[in-house]
């Protein structure tokens, strides 16, 4: 069964929050709630979401600052702004700070649902990277994903765990691009709430041991501090 797309709804007006949550759940989405900016940022740190719906006028940290903070952290999650402000300068500011769409209050519920669908579908398409086949070779290394087996630079055959195979495949399919740790944990571990980053670090250390000529100066497997991991050739 495929997982329901998840949405974080950041809205402090309780009646509206409840109505939106209910309608989005009826459309088949999984909805988490945040009622202020601090809570919203904490949830984004802890969980993976397919979409954020952000009201601009929320307590503690306003919606625009929430979006700015998320973008600074290299998180590309789609964002739909809800706002009572409807001047073009407000709209431009929201989009400039990293929102993908902007809807002014009062809005038509059907229009909101359509925009939500569009943003989530676009995000899912972007996440479907070029897929590689069952085998892959780089340097003098060879990987057979189907058999979960690799032949290392020294000609040694090693068994890979299912998670090692999945992580290798994900990194190689996103060659030369940083894959955020959230994406790795969501794709490989299938978690919504994450274990520590050290879990992935240990896998990367193993890959270096297996596949690099000099594990201290890696050519293929890189950690990008605070953001994620990258495979380069």
Identify the three-state secondary structure at position 103: strand
Ranges in the chain annotated CATH 3.40.50.2300: 6-127
Q: Kindly report the average pLDDT of the chain as a whole number.
A: 89
pLDDT beyond 60 at 192? no
Of all residues in the chain, the percent with pLDDT exceeding 90 is 61
Whether the per-residue pLDDT at 59 is higher than 50: the answer is yes
Say how far apart CA 147 and CA 162 lie, in whole Å.
10
Give me the sign of the Cα torsion angle 119, 65, 18, 33.
positive
SS3 220: coil
pTM of the model: 0.60
Cα–Cα dist 226/170, whole Å? 19
CA-to-CA distance for 58 and 8, rounded, in angstroms? 14
Residue in the structure block whose two tokens are 């625009």:
64
Q: Sign (positive/negative) of CA torsion 177, 180, 185, 187?
A: negative
pLDDT class of 1 with cuts at 50, 70, 90? very low
Fold of 135-231: Arc Repressor Mutant, subunit A (1.10.10)
**30, 7 in Cβ contact below 8 A?**
yes
Q: How far apart are CA 233 and CA 187, in angstroms?
A: 22
Do residues 30 and 5 make contact, with C-beta atoms less than 8 angstroms apart? yes
The top-level CATH class assigned to 6-127 is: alpha beta
Q: State residue 208's pLDDT score.
A: 95
Judged against a pLDDT cut of 90, whether residue 225 lies above it is answered with no
Domain with CATH 1.10.10.10 in the chain: 135-231
């Amino acid at each position: 069964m495929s997982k329901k797309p998840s949405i974080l709804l950041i809205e402090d007006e309780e009646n509206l929050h409840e109505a939106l949550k209910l309608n989005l759940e009826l459309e088949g989405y999984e909805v988490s709630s945040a009622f202020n900016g601090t809570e919203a940022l904490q949830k984004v740190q802890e969980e993976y979401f397919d979409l954020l719906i952000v009201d601009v006028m929320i307590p503690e940290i306003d919606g625009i600052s929430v979006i700015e903070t998320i973008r600074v952290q290299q998180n590309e999650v789609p964002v739909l702004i809800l706002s009572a402000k409807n001047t073009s300068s407000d709209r431009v500011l929201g989009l400039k700070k990293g929102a993908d769409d902007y809807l002014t209050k009062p809005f038509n519920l059907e229009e909101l649902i359509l925009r939500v669908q569009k943003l989530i579908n676009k995000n899912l398409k972007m996440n479907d990277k070029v897929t590689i086949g069952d085998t892959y070779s780089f340097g003098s290394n060879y990987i057979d994903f189907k058999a979960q087996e690799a032949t290392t630079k020294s000609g040694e055959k090693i068994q890979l765990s299912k998670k090692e195979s999945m992580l290798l495949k994900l990194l190689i399919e996103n060659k030369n691009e940083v894959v955020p740790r959230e994406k790795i944990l969501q794709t490989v571990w299938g978690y919504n709430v994450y274990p520590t980053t050290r879990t992935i670090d240990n896998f990367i250390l193993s890959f270096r041991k297996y596949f690099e000529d000099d594990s201290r100066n890696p050519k293929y497997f890189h950690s990008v501090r605070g953001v994620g991991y990258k495979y380069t050739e």
